[in-house]
Structure 1
Amino acid sequence: MNGDMLIVLTLALVSLPIRFYHFQDPPEVVFDEVHFGKFAGEYINGTFYFDVHPPLAKMLTALVAQVFSYNGDFDFGTIGNSYLGSSVPYAEMRAVCVLLGVLLVPASFVTLRTGGHSAPAALFAALLVLFENSLSTNSRFILLDAYLLLFTAWTLLSWAMFLKHRNTPFTLEWWWWLSATGFGLGCAVSCKWVGLFTIATIGCSTLYHVWGLWGDLRVSKISFFKHFVARIICLIGLPIAIYVFCFYVHLELLSLTGSGDSYISPHFQHSLVGRDIIETPSDVVYGSIVSIRHLGTNGGYLHSHASNYPEGSKQQQVTLYPYEDENNLWRILKANSSNESEEVQHDILGSDNKTWLQYVRSGEMIKLEHLITRPRKLHSHNEKPPLSDEESYKEVSAYGFPDFDGDANDFWVVKTIGEALESRIQALQSQFQLIHTLQTCALYSGNKKLPDWGFGQQEVACIQNGKIPKTLWMIEQVAHDLLPLEKTRMTSYPRYSFWQKFKELHGLMWRANNDLKESHPYQSRPSEWLMLVHGISYWERDGRHIYLLGNPIIYWTVTVTVFIYMILSFFFKLRQQRGVAERFQPDLLQFYKRAAGFYAMAWAFHYLPFYLMGRQLFLHHYLPALYCGILLVGVSVDLVLQKFKWKLSQWIFVFTLTAIAICAFFNFAPLSYGLPWNRESCIRSQWLPYWDFGCERFSTIGHFANPNPKHAEL
Structure 2
Amino acid sequence: MNPTVRSRRPASPPLGFAPRYPHVREDHLDADARREAASKGLMRRDIGRKGYPPGGLNIASAEWKVMFIIVIIAVLVRMFRLPQPNSVVFDEVHFGKFASRYIKAQYFVDVHPPLAKLLITLAGFIFGYDGNFDFKDIAKPYENVPYVAMRALPALMGVATIPLAYLTLRALECRATTAVFASLFLTFENGLVTQSRHILLDSPLVFFTALTVFVWTGFCNEDKHEPFTESWWTWLILSGLSLGAVVSCKWVGLFTIATVGVGTLKQLWLLLGDLRVPPRLWMKHFLARALCLIVLPILFYMSMFGIHFLILSNSGDGDGFMSSEFQHTLSGRGMADTYADVAIGSTVTLRHVNTQGGYLHSHPHNYPGGSNQQQVTLYPHRDSNNDWRIINATSDVDPEGDIEYDQPLEYVTSGMRLKLRHISTQKYLHSHEIRPPVSDVDFQNEVSAYGMPHFVGDANDDWVVEIEKGEKRDKESGKRLRTLRTHFRLRHALTGCYLFSHKVKLPEWGYEQQEVTCNKNAVRDNSLWYIETNWHPDLPPDAPKVNYRLPGFLGKFLELQQVMWTTNAGLTDRHTYDSRPSSWPRLRRGINFWVKDHRQIYLIGNPTVWWLSTFAVLAYAAVRGFLVLRAKRGYRDFENTKVVKYDTLCGFLFVGWLLHYFPFFLMGRQLFLHHYFPALYFAVLLCAGVFDLVTANLRPRIRLQIAAVLIIVAVWNFSYLSPIAYGNPWTKSKCNSARWLKTWDFNWWVACRLVF
TM-score by length of 2: 0.89
- Aligned CA distance change for structure 1 residues 544 and 91 (closer, same or farther; 3 Å): same
The amino acid across from 1:63 in the alignment is L
Q: Does 1:629 align with 2:683?
A: yes
CA distance in 2 between counterparts of 1:338 and 1:324 reads 31
CA shift in 2, pair 1:585/1:361, >3 Å = closer
Name the CA distance, whole Å, in 2 between partners of 1:341 and 1:640. Answer: 93
- The answer to whether the 8 A contact 1:299-1:321 is kept is yes
* 2:437 corresponds to 1:411: no
2:425 alignment counterpart: 373
Per the TM alignment, residue 126 of structure 1 is displaced from its structure 2 partner at its CA by 1.0
Secondary structure at 1:477 match in 2: strand
User: What is the identity, as a one-letter code, of the residue corresponding to 1:370?
Assistant: H
Instruction: After superposition, give the CA deviation of every residue in 1:443-494 in whole Å (9 maximum; x if it has no partner).
Output: 11111111111111111111123221111101111123333223x2111111
The amino acid of 1:266's aligned partner reads: S
Report the equivalent of 1:257: 315
Residue 663 (structure 1) aligned with residue 716 (structure 2): yes
**1:463 paired to 2:516:** no
Are residue 696 (structure 1) and residue 753 (structure 2) matched? no
**1-side partners of 2:349 and 2:355: how far apart?**
16
Describe the superposition over 1:102-141 as per-residue Cα deviations: whole angstroms up to 9, x where unpaired.
1111111110111111111121111111111110010001
The equivalent residue for 2:240 is: 182
2:521, 2:128 → 1: CA distance?
55
Q: Is the 8 A contact 2:346 2:535 kept in 1?
A: yes
Alignment of 1:59-74 (within 5 A): 59-74=118-133
Q: 1:299 to 1:235 in 2, by over 3 A?
A: same
Partner of 2:607: 552
Cα distance in 2 for residues equivalent to 1:421 and 1:366: 18
Q: 2:753 & 2:357 partners in 1: Cα distance? A: 52
Q: CA deviation at 1:387?
A: 2.4
- Runs of 4 or more off by more than 4 Å in structure 1? 419-422
Partners of 2:477 and 2:486 within 8 A in 1: no
3-state SS, counterpart of residue 560 of structure 1: helix
Question: Which residue number corresponds to residue 24 of structure 2?
Answer: none
Contact 1:682/1:695 (CA < 8 Å) preserved in 2?
yes
Equivalent residue pairs, number: 690
Q: Match of 1:494, as an amino acid?
A: R
Could you tell me how far apart the structure 1 residues matched to 2:608 and 2:478 are?
Answer: 73
> 8 Å contact 1:287–1:340 — kept in the other structure?
no
2:468 and 2:347 map into 1 onto residues whose CA distance is 22
Quote the residue 2:221 is aligned against.
164
Query: 2:70 pairs with 11, 28, 39, which one?
Result: 11
CA shift, 1:384, in A, is 1.8
Quick one: which of 490, 493, 496 aligns to 2:545? Answer: 490
Counterpart residue identity of residue 668, structure 1? L
Q: What's 1:104 paired with?
A: 161
Question: 1:216-227 maps to which residues of 2 (within 5 A)?
Answer: 216-227=274-285
Distance 2:456 2:172 in 1: 83
Identify the match of residue 677 of structure 1 among 721, 727, 730. Answer: 730
Query: Which of these residues, 84, 92, 95, is aligned with residue 152 of structure 2?
Result: 95
- Aligned equivalent of 1:588, options 630, 642, 663: 642
**Is the 8 Å Cα contact of residues 271 and 277 (structure 1) preserved in structure 2?**
no
Query: Which of these residues, 123, 130, 146, is aligned with residue 180 of structure 2?
Result: 123
In 2, distance between residues paired with 1:642 and 1:448? 62
> Within 2, Cα distance between the matches of 1:633 and 1:607?
16
Letter in 1 for 2:642: L
Aligned to 1:620: 674
Q: Which residue of 2 aligns with 1:132?
A: 189
Q: Distance between the aligned counterparts of 1:527 and 1:643, measured in 2? A: 35
Counterpart in the other structure of 1:508 = 563
Q: Is the 8 A contact 1:361 1:422 kept in 2?
A: no
In structure 1, the gaps of 5 or more residues are 704-714
> In structure 1, how many angstroms separate the alpha carbons of the residues matched to 2:419 and 2:725?
62
2:337 paired with 1:284:
no
For the residues of structure 1 that align with 2:658 and 2:373, how far apart are their CA atoms? Answer: 56
Q: Give the Cα–Cα distance (whole angstroms) in 2 for the partners of residues 422 and 665 of structure 1.
A: 68
Q: Match for 2:436: what amino acid?
A: P
The answer to which of 170-179 and 387-396 deviates more is: 387-396
- State the distance in 2 between where 1:236 and 1:285 align: 53
Q: Alignment partner for residue 524 of structure 1, among 579, 583, 587?
A: 579
The answer (yes or no) to whether the contact 1:134–1:548 under 8 Å persists in 2 is yes
Matched, 1:267 2:325: yes
| Structure 1 letter corresponding to 2:481 | I
**C-alpha distance in 2, partners of 1:422/1:128?**
67
Per the alignment, residue 435 of structure 1 pairs with 491
2: distance between equivalents of 1:383 and 1:660? 68
Cα distance, 1:588–1:421 mapped onto 2, change above 3 Å? closer
Aligned to 2:25: none
Q: Are the aligned partners of 2:155 and 2:197 in contact in 1 as well (CA < 8 Å)? A: yes
Q: Which amino acid aligns with 2:447?
A: V
- CA 1:309–1:567: 2 relative to 1, 3 Å: same
What is the CA–CA distance in structure 1 between the aligned matches of 2:752 and 2:526, rounded to whole Å? 55
Q: Specify every segment of 5 or more residues in structure 2 that has no aligned partner in the other structure, as ranges.
A: 1-58, 471-475
Determine the structure 2 residue equivalent to 1:209. Answer: 267
Q: Note if 1:195 corresponds to 2:253.
A: yes
- Match of 1:357? 409
Give the distance between the partners of 1:392 and 1:464, measured in 2 at CA.
Answer: 5
User: Partners of 2:371 and 2:657 in 1: how far apart?
Assistant: 57
In structure 2, give the amino acid aligned to 1:95: A
Partner residue in 2 for 1:711: none
The alpha carbon displacement at 1:421 in A equals 11
| Partner-residue secondary structure (3-state), 1:126 | helix
- Report the Cα distance in structure 1 between the residues aligned to 2:294 and 2:442, rounded to whole angstroms: 52
Amino acid aligned to 1:363: G
Alignment check: 8 A CA contact 1:27 1:83 kept: yes
Q: 1:574 matched to which residue of 2?
A: 629
Whole-Å separation in 1 of the counterparts to 2:147 and 2:136:
15
CA contact (8 A) 2:463 2:492 kept: yes
Matches within 5 A, 1:436-455: 436-455=492-511
Cα distance in 2 for partners of 1:268, 1:237 equals: 26
**Rounded Cα–Cα distance in structure 1 between residues aligned with 2:459 and 2:646:** 80
Tell me if the contact between 2:469 and 2:478 (Cα under 8 Å) persists in the aligned partners. no
Shift of the alpha carbon at 1:398? Answer: 1.2
Q: Which one-letter code corresponds to 2:744 in the other structure?
A: W
Other structure's SS at 1:589 match: helix
TM superposition shift of 1:701: 6.2
Q: Distance in 1 between matches of 2:336 and 2:605?
A: 54
In the TM superposition, residue 192 of structure 1 has moved relative to its aligned partner by: 0.6
Distance 1:225-1:108 versus aligned 2 partners, 3 A rule: same
Alignment partners' CA distance in 2, 1:518 and 1:574: 45
Q: CA 1:421 to 1:410, structure 2 compared with 1: closer, same or farther past 3 Å?
A: farther
Letter in 2 for 1:24: P
Cα offsets for 1:70-116 (capped at 9, x unmatched)? 111111121122224x1x21111111111111111111111011111
- TM-score, length-scaled by structure 1: 0.94
Residues 402-411 or 116-125, more deviating: 402-411
Q: Please say if residues 79 and 155 of structure 2, whose CA atoms lie closer than 8 Å, have aligned partners that are also in contact.
A: yes
Q: Distance in 2 between matches of 1:306 and 1:553?
A: 63
* Counterpart amino acid of residue 65 in structure 1: G
Following superposition, the deviation at residue 197 of structure 1 comes to 0.2
Q: Does the aligned pair in 1 maintain the 2:399–2:454 contact within 8 Å?
A: no
Return the match for 1:114 from 146, 171, 182: 171
Asked whether the equivalents of residues 544 and 676 of structure 1 are also in contact (C-alpha less than 8 Å), the reply is yes
Point out the more displaced range, 309-318 or 16-25. Answer: 309-318
CA distance in 2, matches of 1:296, 1:502: 19
**Alpha-carbon separation, structure 2, partners of 1:61 and 1:689:** 36
Q: Which residue of 1 aligns with 2:594?
A: 539
- Give the counterpart letter for 2:265 in structure 1: L
Deviation at 1:219, TM superposition (A): 1.8
SS in 1 for 2:491: strand
Identical positions, percent: 45
